[in-house]
Amino acid sequence: MAKIVTMGEIMLRLSTSNNEKFIQADEFDVNYGGGEANVAVSLANYGHDAEFITAVPDNPIGACAVAALRKYGVKTDNIAKCGERLGIYFLETGASMRASNVVYDRAHSSIATATASNFDFDKIFADADWFHFTGITPAISDLAAEVTEEALKAAKKHGVTVSVDLNFRKKLWTSEKAQKVMTNLMQYVDVCIGNEEDAEKVLGFKPGETDVTKGELELAGYVDIFNRMIDKFGFKYVISSLRESHSASDNDWSACIMDGSTREFYHSRKYHIKPIVDRVGGGDSFAGGLICGLNDGRNFKSALEFAVAASALKHTIPGDFNLVTRAEVESLMGGDASGRVQR
């Protein structure tokens, strides 16, 4: 199994129960999660040697966040203990035509105030095979963007394959700032993952006439932007998840990929997900499944199908983490979407 390192922020997640709005809530469900942490949990769950790099405060809440990762087999030896607080996000889960809503309380968190001196990146990447980050981490603060680039430089020095999930978050930064920072970081990236909004807001590429708010996809537009992204950045693979949102509870879910060397384009099987239990972490479970598939030695089409099936299943699981097994993913890939009781 491969050693895969991910780096980012793990946060305390406080979510309303039973699809309540914030104003109705008298209590919150407690979980931990965050983009790259979610990917690490998926990979550890599939049997890979997954390590998560972050900074947490040296207090009981920071310890709880670390314990949440260790519970699922993620290595945490190089997590820095510094700063004053763990980031928090509040989640109001939507239903039907009412969208979910996220409120961040993560300013001045430990990872936002950490510096490269808090991490020994040469040690971390000395025996690593793969490094994954997202566009969320550089958006947290200017310091976090600097730390991300230092990690990328060390990863490339050690010959590590690098993937990114572009993950644009308009509540963290503007498209203009995202393009300035992330365009620079693409020089270190081998595998680029995103969706239609990420491609446009983070890198400036718009995929044709696709409008996910209307549940419409135009695959030819993705072929065009994938070719342009590969021409500009030299990616080995470019991948986009494809979410057709009919409502907060009803989505179609698929993905597409292009091989950077052959320019072969492939669109996966489509899953109809209804009702959605929890879509937060769906993109992270997709990235985790893709990284797993590629590191397992699957061809790029099979790796994509594994990723789409894994992430479709994640939509049925509360919390940020995807806790399905390889066997469950492969069963769905094989066509068993019946949901029958397994006895």
- Express each pLDDT in 104-154 by its tens digit: 999 999 999 999 999 999 999 999 999 999 999 999 999 999 999 999 999
> Does residue 217 form part of some domain?
yes
> Does residue 343 form part of some domain?
no
Return the percentage of the chain with pLDDT > 70, whole number. 95
Rounded Cα distance, 99 and 101, in Å:
6
- Asked if pLDDT for residue 223 goes beyond 80, the answer is yes
> Does residue 339 form part of some domain?
no
- Number of C-alpha atoms within 13 angstroms, CB side, residue 273? 30
> Does residue 337 form part of some domain?
no
> Does residue 290 form part of some domain?
yes
Return the percentage of the chain with pLDDT > 90, whole number. 85
- Asked if pLDDT for residue 85 goes beyond 80, the answer is yes
Rounded Cα distance, 320 and 37, in Å:
9
> Does residue 85 form part of some domain?
yes
More confident call, 342 vs 48: 48
Can you give the pLDDT at residue 196?
A: 81
Can you give the pLDDT at residue 214?
A: 52
CA 196 centroid distance within chain: 15
> Does residue 74 form part of some domain?
yes
> Does residue 340 form part of some domain?
no
Backbone angles phi, psi at 217, to 5 degrees: -125, 140
Can you give the pLDDT at residue 219?
A: 85
Range of the domain at 292: 3-332
Can you give the pLDDT at residue 187?
A: 98
Can you give the pLDDT at residue 64?
A: 98
More confident call, 73 vs 216: 73
Can you give the pLDDT at residue 212?
A: 45
Backbone angles phi, psi at 328, to 5 degrees: -65, -40
Rounded Cα distance, 114 and 137, in Å:
12
pTM to 2 decimal places: 0.94
What's the CATH number where 314 sits?
3.40.1190.20
Mean pLDDT within 198-210: 81
